[in-house]
Amino acid sequence: MGAARLASDERPGRVIELKVLTSWAQRLRGLLGTGPDADPVMLARCPSIHTFGMRYPIDVALVGELGEVLLVRRALPPREFLAHPDACCAIERPAREGAWLEEGEHLWVTAVTPDTVGS
């Protein structure tokens, strides 16, 4: 598991720090087993997510290979499935008030830990 920092073209100065889940097992688990104060995660190579087994709702963004935010759902409840055919990764966090990603927004990586690269 690595870490990354993302920025947005549409919101200069805003930074999202998250854990990057690259293995099949890490992506399958996602935020399962965490609490509502968990850090955001990015599920690499993951065009769909599920909330089966979750104990709380999550905010989700599905992102395309060029960093475009394709689909956003706020407070997605447990026992749901979300997918986009053009997504290459998913970003999740426990649902909360405040700013979140928006459809059409463009993200780019500003920093990544060495253990994330090549995973």
pTM of the model: 0.92
pLDDT (0 to 100) of residue 118: 58
pLDDT digits (tens, 9 = 90+) for 86-119: 999 999 999 999 999 999 999 999 998 887 765 4
What structural domains does the chain harbor? 2-112 (2.60.120.1140)
Instruction: Give the torsion through C-alpha atoms of 109, 16, 46, 37, to 10 deg.
Output: 160
Closest CA to 46 of 83, 18, 16: 83
CA distances from 3 to 42, 101, 112 (A): 9, 18, 6
pLDDT digits (tens, 9 = 90+) for 27-48: 989 999 999 999 999 999 999 9
Type of residue at 25: A
In the block, tokens 């935020």 appear at 31
Checking phi first, is residue 45 left (phi over 0); if not, alpha (psi -120 to 50) or beta?
Answer: left
